[in-house]
Amino acid sequence: MPYITGYVNLSCLRRSGSSPQFISQRGTHMGYPTVTYKEEGMREGMQIEDASIPVEDKVRLLDALSETGLKHIVVGSFVSPRYTPQMAEIDDVMARFTPKPGVRYTALALNERGRERAQQYSPPLDTGENSTYRPTLRCHMCDVFARRNTNRSQAQEMADWEQIVSTAKALGATEAGIGTNASWGSNFVGKFSNADRMDIFERQHAMWDEAEIPVTAVSLGDPMSWCMPHEVKSQLVEIKSRWPDIRDFTLHLHNGRGMALVSAYAALETLDETDTLNLDGTIGGIGGCPYCGNGRATGQMPTEDAINMLEEMGIDTG
């Protein structure tokens, strides 16, 4: 067993048990990444459920989630009830829930109107004013899904990049991000390879290089559940190898094929203590995108299982 190093992850020793729970096989003394966990049940969970769930039930769930110890909870979306009827009562939920000190509450807003609506509830809502300004270039890997999901083409998404970069430069951004959605595959056009993703990432990264703004983060969305653990691993390895400055990784993994938690574990084993891994999930694994073309056969990483695994691994979830 040439790859046993006898390394003991010290963070595990806080836990009970008479033997070390983690022996590195990496050949180096690497620990796990820092993990931040975002509970998406009130947004991505709700948006695929029946639109008639009473406000009081939503408030009760949100209040219960606040008591679990979760550090970051997404409360919903400020979007048009025409497209997402489940969010029609977001204002009532905001007015009636009981914020818990120490929990970060955020909401999704896709345009200026949404951001203005969200601003009314800040605080307790964290609308991002105090967050690090890290402009990000993003697009969907699949044009069909881009149009269904956001009513814009992939080419339109890419056409925005120049403006995002010039704004970032004008505002003096000191770091930037790159990202894809529908990263590992699409129900409309099939699977994407590391090479497909790297082609997009190279183009995004080159634009930041040109602007002399360092790229420190990458996000990979998987709304249609195409992730596989070995492919998540090889993609992360390739990104880290190509751009060692990238230390912040966001994985938004869906679970329609049962691979979200497995892929998250693969990421935990691939990244190391110099990295941050941002994971999203939902209570009970509910949720999914209504525009994925497979009805309700979707779902996210179940928060209860994910947190249990992370805690058992001795990883603080921030």
Residue 40 CB, nearest approach to a second copy (Å): 17
Residue 48 CB, nearest approach to a second copy (Å): 20
Q: Decide whether 265 or 291 has the Cβ nearer to a second copy.
A: 265
Please pick, from the candidates 52, 131, 163, 241, the single residue that binds a second copy as defined by CB under 8 A: 241
Q: Decide whether 132 or 308 has the Cβ nearer to a second copy.
A: 308
Please pick, from the candidates 120, 191, 209, 296, the single residue that binds a second copy as defined by CB under 8 A: 191
Interface with a second copy, residue 155, by CB under 8 A: no
- In this structure, the number of other CB atoms found within 10 A of the CB of residue 205 comes to 21
Span near a second copy by CB under 8 A; candidates 43-51, 57-65, 123-131, 257-265 = 257-265
Interface with a second copy, residue 313, by CB under 8 A: yes
Interface with a second copy, residue 13, by CB under 8 A: no
Compute the distance between CA of residue 196 and CA of residue 191 in angstroms, rounded to an integer.
10
Which residues are near a second copy by CB under 8 A? Answer: 1-4, 16-23, 25-28, 30, 191, 193-196, 198, 228-231, 233-234, 237-238, 240-241, 244, 257-259, 261-262, 265-266, 269-270, 302, 304-305, 308-309, 312-313
